[in-house]
Amino acid sequence: MRNQRAATVFAGILLGSVCLGGCAGQKDAGRTEQETNWEQAEEGESKVQEETQLTTEDGTNDSADYDALFEKITLTESYKGLDDTNPLMTQRFGADPYAMVYGDRVYFYMTADAFEYDGAAGKLGENTYSRIRSINVISTSDMINFTDHGSIRVAGKDGAAVWARNSWAPAAAWKEIDGKPRFFLYFADAGGGIGVLVSDSPTGPFTDPLGEGLITRQTPNCADVLWLFDPAVLVDDDGKAYLYFGGGVPEGRAADPGTARVVQLGDDMISLAGDPVRIDAPYVFEDSGIHKVGGKYYYTYCSNWQVDPEGTARYGFVNGEIVSMESDSPMGPFTLKETILENPGRYFGLYGNNHHCVFSFRDNWYITYHTRVLEQAMGVELGYRCTHVDEFTMGEDGTIGKIPQTLQGRRQLSYVDPYTQNRAANFAVMGGIACVASDDGAKQYGSGNMALGEIDTGDFVVVKGVDFGEEAPVKWSASVRNPKGEEGVIRICADGPDGTVLGYLPVADPAEEFTEYTVSLDRAVTGVHDLCLVFSGEGYELESWQFHKES
């Protein structure tokens, strides 16, 4: 591919003004091991450079020109420090997170908060939740890098459930039915009922098996529940499943709202095996949660905003905190155990509703919840939420204690293999990137296979913990779509956007479909490093990448 010298540099948003816990231009701390890896690679480096430098068609070396090009580029703001594990994503908001473990991955389903603008004035307004009709989904195998799977179209004329007005607070589960896994996505139609969608894949496409709500005002023992929303689901060891839901505070009943419910689901997961029963949860507000430890069941919920001193003295919690109750049965009765999560405003400065999910993955325990950290970093304080995860230790008796809320609170469970095809929409940190549909299925349903898109000069992604092994790669390939034939360059770096440059991939050829391009690397790398891709140019999309050891 022929590359003309770039004449124009598109400047990104100035980096460093609002980053959390460190900005994209800063190096990661604790690089002693990685520095050693560079030193060990030096002996074979000159040969790799000599044999694999980039050249144009006339045989001249472009590496120096690319170096000069990227020196002029201002990195796009990341809204998240390079060392931060929270929020999980910054390319979109995500609220009311729910975690579902399937195979070697955990999937997170989130209310698709998005900026609301005044139609006439175009002014950014408060998050009213009234326009939310999609559910965002991401997944991870290592708890640090997350794959964006897009937004499941749930409610309204473009959604699977055309009868529903909104899609809030999802819950997900899977169960083997008729010899194959089936996936079930429960959602709240605002506060008026709970629907269910089904799929053969955790990322969809999802379909509506009922054509109406699973839980409605006509469901027994539900007419007096103010808010029929916020589902949680448990598939027990014996295959029986249970749905938890409800919320709201009737006037004058702050201490005993009586609005939490549990019901056993049918074997098909889309019907009820009985009538819902009340959970006696003191000061309940919303946000049902459920997890099991040993033979005990733990119902968790958010306390309301009317907890008085008498209630605090009796139960130990205050307004807007996640409370845990214990039972020997999934249907209760439950008794109060402890407070496990304070309101995120205590840690990050902006209070709001508290929504969570407790789950176990690869023998580790986690809690996922939402905060207002992302909008705060963007200079917006209008109620738009993002998803966090923190790790904690589960006591043998099910005791958790108050879980600290952090920006850097998780370990990477496994390293990324660079020698297999990796989806470009899997990363830990990004600046300026959007994830777009990469195939017809994702375009039609909103979720599925995604690619990096809406690229501008200065945008970047960071993949944490890539293990190159003892033998250095010599080539890098990428699947790129460039429908307008715009010119661009991808800089391949180790250890941050301003880290060691491994090579450059020029983008110039028009390509309506994703096409694989391969480039030789300029420098050797071994051991474990973070991989960073920095972009120059615009109008192209990146679907996947892979390193190669053999020339």
Catalytic residue among 77, 83, 84, 96: 96
Bridge-partner residues for 196, per DSSP? 186
367: nearest Cα among 329, 321, 326: 321
In degrees and rounded to multiples of 5, residue 211 shows phi and psi of: 75, 10
- Given a contact cutoff of 8 angstroms between Cβ atoms, the answer to whether 525 and 449 are in contact is no
Q: In what order do the strands lie in the sheet containing 194-199?
A: 168-177, 180-188, 194-199
SS3 213: coil
DSSP string, 73-140: PPPPP-SS-TT---SS-SSS--EEEEEEEETTEEEEEEE----EE-TTT--EE---STT--EEEEEEE
User: Which one of 84, 142, 286, 456 is the catalytic residue?
Assistant: 286
Please list the alpha-helical segments (H only) found in 369-439: 373-377
Cis peptide before 87 (omega within 30 of 0): yes
Active site annotation includes 96: yes
What is the C-alpha to C-alpha distance for residues 322 and 354, in angstroms, rounded to an integer? 7
Question: Is residue 224 flagged as an active site residue?
Answer: no
Burial class from Cβ neighbours inside 10 Å (0-12, 13-18, 19+) for residue 429 reads buried
CA 533, chain centre distance (Å): 20
Helix (H, G, I), strand (E, B) or coil at 439: coil
Residues 483-500: b if buried by 16+ CB within 10 A, e if exposed: eeeebbbbbbbbbbbbbb
In order, the DSSP letters of 248-311 are ---TT-SS----EEEEEBPTTSSSBSS--EEE--TTEEEEEEEEEETTEEEEEEEE-TT--HHH
Residues that are catalytic: 96, 286
